[in-house]
Amino acid sequence: MANVAVDEDQQWLVNCLSATLDPNQEVRSFAETSLNQASLQPGFGRGLSKVAANRDIPFGLRQISFLFNIFYLAALLLKQFIKKHWQEGDESFEHPAVSSDEKAVIRGLLLSTVDDPSRKLCTAISMAISSIAVYDWPESWPDLLPFLLKLIGDQSNMNGVHGGLRCLALLSGDLDDTMIPTLVPVLFPCLYTIVSSSQTYNKYLRTKALSIVYACTSILGAMSGVYQAEASALMEPMLKPWVDQFSFILEHPVQPEDPDDWSIRMEVLKCLNQFVQNFPSFTESDFRGIVGPLWQTFVSSLRVYIRSAIEGTEDPYEGRYDSDGAEISLESFVIQLFEFLLTIVGSRKLVKVVSNNIADLVYYTIAFLQVTEQQVHTWSVDANQFVADEDDATYSCRVSGKYLYAGSLLLEEVATCCGIEGIDAIINAASKWFSESQQEKAGGSLVWWRMREATLFALASVSEQLLEAEVSGLTKVSSGNLLEQMITEDMGIGVHEYPFLYARMFISVAKFSSVISSGVLEQFLHAAIKTIGMAVPPAVKVGACRALSQLLPEANKSVIQPQMMGLLSSLTDLLNQASDETLHLVLETLQEAIKAGHESSASAEPIISPIILNMWVLHVSDPFISIDAIEVLEALKNAPGCIRPLASRILPYLGPILNKPQQQPDGLVAGSLDLLAMLLKAICDSIVQNAPTDVVKAAYDICFDAIIRIVLQSDDHSEMQNATECLASFVSGGREEILAWGSDSGFTMRSLLDAASRLLDPDLESSGSLFVGSYILQLILHLPSQMAQHIQDLIVALVRRMQSASIAGLKSSLLLIFARLDGIRPHCSNCSTILALFSQLFLAVFGEIQGAYQIKVTTSALALLLSSRHAELTNTNVQGHLIKSVAGITTRSKAKSAPDQWTMVPLSAKILALLADALIEIQEQVQDAEDEDSDWEDVPDGDMEYSDKDVISSAAAPSFGKSAYDHLEAMAKAYNENQEDDYEDDSLSIADPLNQINLVNYLADFLLKLSQSDRQLFDHLCQSLTQEQLNAIKIVLNR
């Protein structure tokens, strides 16, 4: 960096920059305004660069020329100037633009300053250089890379080496696949020299060099997906020397309180991860050379980790960063270590190399899972954090929750990828640690419980894999027996002395309840119930709640009934002490306790309901807590004898809110409607079981008029959605009786239709109309005579609403109404136009419909529409199947110039294709259910050639494999078992007789009748089907 004489302009800049530090607000503001105005004048960037490059100006002020906001008042002035004024056309550009001459001066001055001894200033200069390089390199700045390479190769100027590496590190983040192939062959030898010269370059500089290697190999790794041969050819000659250097770095034991040592190992592990994942040329033999040093790092890092993080006797440098902003903590290094180990175990090629060491790997991994000293402190004062960490299944090494890959995930990978050897290794390691913790306990150790807790945590983290292996008979070692031995021994320990071990026991028992003896389960269940009411540390109550929420649903009700009133009372008291995360857990546990309580729940309802309602009001704007509270109330209403008293508490409270919605705080109206919808749905479900409707009428008397007004007047989508659900429940629960509940039955019907009209308004946002489909279906099902005279208008409104709908769920629900009307032909006067619009909308949404009831209704409607033989079915053409374009990747420009092409087929042929697709989907469910390829075997395309004339005759030929009747039965069974309940509306599916049809038999009968009644039409329609669709139809016809 050369000395530059301080001219008048520079002196003015120095004075302005000095004024920005003045304690007087007016002086600071004036200086900042002056600098902003000066930035619009030619030469401002050159002036800043000269100030930064001038050794005669005190360092503090030179640094200010780059920092303006945070770190001496903040952002980098020069970088900000470059971003705004360097490149015309850039989205952040502001006039005036920097001239070419000034750009050249700035670039030269910055390069002359990159070897500044101050790391902070060097970083600021490097960021400015990187900002310019984005625009200018390599075309307008060809000497940048040669200059930096020369700088990092000059062993006599370590400041220059640092500055050059810092620039290259920042530049490497902006490289693309066009620059990397040219850069790597030139850059990597220079970086290799730095990394391999440990006597010349310190760990800090070698780490920076490795970070550049990692950045470049990451880009090469991304390239390998498309240019695998090119990327491998580029890296293959370099792998062996780099791996040798990595081995040298890793073979020495990890040093305590040495963040530079941790950082260089972390960069090595990151580079190795890239090598393993992205370059096939990295062979097993290459990896064998690194296994020994890697194991040395792994084992020695455990010793450092125990002293620093677990025992807290050494500094782990937690949350600290170097001058370049890179994290230097022990935790970040350990997490990177586990991430690489996770990659190894997940690689079928590399896991073979370490297969003989899996037992040791698991053994040491469990030791990393011990509770840290920091966690003990945090969890002791903050139960919410304990709950949050328990909920986060992927939180680091039990340290902070910031990282995704760690010890528990490595154990899961071992259990998944290493088969029975991995399962046995986990159980054996757990047994070994249990024995060692027994010895520590007997020897008077105060921390014996840490390994016991870590072992329980390890077993629980892989509980699914362990239980699956035990049930399938793959392993003869019982995890249940080991767990029983551990928890039985520790039941007598002091809950106050070892709260986290006690909490872990509760949680682990719940995880392994299926393999633990009933006696031990009952013992822990009683202990958990008792713990809820005791004065114990919060973590223990958290563990007890976790256990209860999982054990109560399967518990022997006769055994726990005597304690249920006490448990409900204790949980209710616990609600008053809970907050945030713990509140959610307590509500979840209370819900399960109410479900298990039966008669006890009814006795506790007068105590629980008011408290939960109060809590719901306080947290109505919190979607998580309010939903939890409503679910607790829902559990209460399902308890015998609780619906009426619960309704008597809820309805008087809701009436005033719904009648004066404008006066309520945000969220209360929508929340109140949600609460009412839950209550009404509960009652309507009970009505199906012949329960009285007096509670529905009471809700109608208090809330119906107010809900109608909300639907007609509100613009709040949540209010409209919940109000629509309430109206649907009123119709479902009251049926035709609802018209007699008011003073004027005509007024009630008009109100219901007015609400439907508002919800079907095509100008209303789709979110507000989201639940209109279910509401209108209830009107059609339960008020059929009243709705019959409005069907024509309803169809027109439905088509308009579907045309403007932007949410797939809304379109699907409207389509269901069409389908439930058995098509539109009998109901419309302008059938051709409506049918054309309807068909386009129907076909666009049909594939998105989910739920057994919805699929039955829409599929049967398609069949009825096809059987109508309406002329428009033949005259209306729709998209058939996609015509495959030329091979190759479809770029944006190619997609724009050559959009997708579709075949055009008659609507009738498209309907038959959709029915065939429905059969294919059920066929796939058969394959999943039976899990045997031989049970359903697609006929190869070459074995079944259909001509225009032999579709029917071939369909009558003998079927292959098992009998077609057996296939049909299997399909029907698979369909009924595989449809999820998430999309079902019970009040609709129960009330609608269409839900009783067997869809597979229905389709088979329909297709058989169609093929027999009009062979010519059937043959003609089949010409448009794919081979797979023809095969599916053949199966059901050959029964």
Residues 426-447 have pLDDT tens digits of 999 999 999 999 999 999 999 9
Q: What is the structure's pLDDT at 296?
A: 97
Q: 877-883 and 901-906 as β-strands: parallel, antiparallel, unpaired?
A: antiparallel
What would the mean pLDDT of 363-374 be, rounded to a whole number?
93
Instruction: Say yes or no: 815 and 912 in one domain.
Output: no
pLDDT single digits (tens) 344-355: 999 988 998 998
Range with lowest mean pLDDT among 58-72, 250-264, 438-452, 832-846: 58-72
Token pair of 1021, please?
Answer: 């329609």
What would the mean pLDDT of 571-576 be, rounded to a whole number?
91
pLDDT single digits (tens) 955-973: 333 333 444 445 555 555 5
Q: What is the structure's pLDDT at 798?
A: 87
Instruction: Say yes or no: 929 and 1019 in one domain.
Output: yes
Instruction: Say yes or no: 1007 and 929 in one domain.
Output: yes
Q: Which of 393-402, 429-438, 471-480 has the highest mean pLDDT?
A: 429-438
The rounded distance, in Å, linking the Cα atoms of 867 and 862 is 9
Length of the chain (residues)? 1039
Residue 906 — φ and ψ, nearest 5°?
A: -60, 150
Higher pLDDT, 337 or 1015: 337
Instruction: Say yes or no: 845 and 933 in one domain.
Output: no
The rounded distance, in Å, linking the Cα atoms of 185 and 149 is 12
Q: What is the structure's pLDDT at 939?
A: 37
Range with lowest mean pLDDT among 374-388, 390-404, 906-920: 390-404
In a domain, 519, yes or no: no
pLDDT single digits (tens) 979-1037: 544 444 556 656 667 777 888 888 888 888 888 888 888 888 888 888 888 888 888 88
Instruction: Say yes or no: 988 and 919 in one domain.
Output: yes
Instruction: Say yes or no: 844 and 904 in one domain.
Output: no
For every residue of 99-161, DSSP letters joined together read PHHHHHHHHHHHHHHTT-S-HHHHHHHHHHHHHHHHHHTTTT-TTHHHHHHHHHT-TT-HHHH
The answer to whether the CB of 180 falls within 8 A of the CB of 216 is: yes
In a domain, 417, yes or no: no
What would the mean pLDDT of 18-26 be, rounded to a whole number?
81
Range with lowest mean pLDDT among 74-83, 411-420, 734-743, 904-913: 74-83
Q: What is the structure's pLDDT at 385?
A: 86
What would the mean pLDDT of 51-63 be, rounded to a whole number?
58
The answer to whether the CB of 558 falls within 8 A of the CB of 522 is: no
Instruction: Say yes or no: 828 and 915 in one domain.
Output: no
Confidence class for position 290, pLDDT limits 50, 70, 90: very high
In a domain, 712, yes or no: no
Q: Which of 179-188, 257-266, 406-415, 899-908 has the highest mean pLDDT?
A: 257-266
Last residue of a domain, one of 150, 174, 198: 174
Q: What is the structure's pLDDT at 954?
A: 39
The answer to whether the CB of 253 falls within 8 A of the CB of 296 is: yes
The answer to whether the CB of 799 falls within 8 A of the CB of 841 is: yes
Residue 903 has pLDDT above 60, yes or no: yes
The rounded distance, in Å, linking the Cα atoms of 295 and 284 is 16
Instruction: Say yes or no: 31 and 146 in one domain.
Output: yes
The rounded distance, in Å, linking the Cα atoms of 640 and 806 is 43
What would the mean pLDDT of 496-519 be, rounded to a whole number?
92
In three-state secondary structure terms, 904 is strand
Token pair of 352, please?
Answer: 């073979």
What would the mean pLDDT of 591-607 be, rounded to a whole number?
89
Higher pLDDT, 848 or 971: 848
Instruction: Say yes or no: 845 and 904 in one domain.
Output: no
Residue 883 — φ and ψ, nearest 5°?
A: -85, 120
Last residue of a domain, one of 145, 174, 203: 174
Confidence class for position 682, pLDDT limits 50, 70, 90: low
Token pair of 816, please?
Answer: 């269901």
Question: CA–CA distance from 584 to each of 100, 384, 539, 545, 591 (Å)?
Answer: 62, 10, 15, 11, 11
Confidence class for position 225, pLDDT limits 50, 70, 90: low
What's the whole-number average pLDDT of the chain? 82
Q: Which of 907, 898, 861 lies closest to 880 in space, CA to CA?
A: 907
Residue 119 has pLDDT above 50, yes or no: yes
What would the mean pLDDT of 659-678 be, rounded to a whole number?
93
Q: Which of 502, 463, 457, 500 lies closest to 480 in space, CA to CA?
A: 463
Token pair of 29, please?
Answer: 């503001």
Q: How far is CA 970 from the centre of its chain?
A: 35
The rounded distance, in Å, linking the Cα atoms of 300 and 333 is 13
What total number of domains does the chain contain? 3
Instruction: Say yes or no: 78 and 157 in one domain.
Output: yes
The rounded distance, in Å, linking the Cα atoms of 167 and 174 is 11
In three-state secondary structure terms, 789 is coil
Q: What is the structure's pLDDT at 70?
A: 25
Range with lowest mean pLDDT among 670-674, 766-770, 856-860: 856-860
Q: Which of 32, 38, 9 lies closest to 20 in space, CA to CA?
A: 32
* Angle formed by the axes of helices 518-532 and 538-551, nearest 10°: 130
Token pair of 539, please?
Answer: 């973590």
What would the mean pLDDT of 166-189 be, rounded to a whole number?
84
The rounded distance, in Å, linking the Cα atoms of 597 and 642 is 12
Residue 577 has pLDDT above 90, yes or no: no
Task: Please state the pTM of the whole predicted model.
Answer: 0.76
% residues pLDDT > 70 (the chain): 83
% residues pLDDT > 90 (the chain): 42
Residue 946 has pLDDT above 80, yes or no: no
Higher pLDDT, 821 or 556: 556
In a domain, 70, yes or no: yes
Residue 628 has pLDDT above 90, yes or no: yes
Token pair of 615, please?
Answer: 């809590």
Residue 584 has pLDDT above 80, yes or no: yes
Q: What is the structure's pLDDT at 928?
A: 62
In a domain, 545, yes or no: no
How many CB atoms lie under 10 A from the CB of residue 907?
24
pLDDT single digits (tens) 193-221: 999 999 999 999 999 999 999 999 988 88
What would the mean pLDDT of 670-693 be, rounded to a whole number?
74
The residue written with tokens 């986060």 in the block is: 392
Residue 325 has pLDDT above 90, yes or no: no
For the chain, how big is the Rg over CA atoms in Å?
Answer: 36
Instruction: Say yes or no: 832 and 919 in one domain.
Output: no
| CATH number of the domain to which 5 belongs | 1.25.10.10
Q: Which amino acid is at 158?
A: M
Instruction: Say yes or no: 810 and 946 in one domain.
Output: no
The answer to whether the CB of 787 falls within 8 A of the CB of 741 is: no
Last residue of a domain, one of 849, 864, 880: 849
Higher pLDDT, 697 or 964: 697
Residue 836 has pLDDT above 70, yes or no: no
Confidence class for position 822, pLDDT limits 50, 70, 90: low
Q: What is the structure's pLDDT at 945?
A: 41
Q: What is the structure's pLDDT at 934?
A: 38
Q: What is the structure's pLDDT at 937?
A: 38
Q: Which of 4-18, 598-612, 658-672, 806-820 has the highest mean pLDDT?
A: 658-672
- Domain span including residue 817: 790-849
List b or e across 52-69, with b for residues whose CB sees 16 or more CB atoms inside 10 angstroms.
bbbeebeeebbbbbbbbe
Q: Where are the alpha helices (DSSP H) in 418-517?
A: 419-442, 448-461, 463-472, 479-490, 499-511
Range with lowest mean pLDDT among 20-34, 389-403, 666-680: 389-403
In a domain, 596, yes or no: no
Higher pLDDT, 881 or 891: 881
Q: What is the structure's pLDDT at 982?
A: 46
The rounded distance, in Å, linking the Cα atoms of 713 and 139 is 63
Cβ contacts of 601 within 8 Å, gap of 6 or more: 564, 568, 593, 594, 595, 608, 635, 636, 639, 642
Range with lowest mean pLDDT among 100-104, 784-788, 896-900: 896-900
Question: CA–CA distance from 532 to each of 239, 492, 549, 996 (Å)?
Answer: 59, 17, 12, 46
Q: Where are the alpha helices (DSSP H) in 173-258?
A: 180-196, 203-223, 228-250
Q: Which of 332, 230, 218 lies closest to 276 in space, CA to CA?
A: 218
In a domain, 975, yes or no: yes
Q: Which of 386, 316, 366 lies closest to 537 in space, CA to CA?
A: 386
In a domain, 145, yes or no: yes
What would the mean pLDDT of 680-699 be, rounded to a whole number?
69
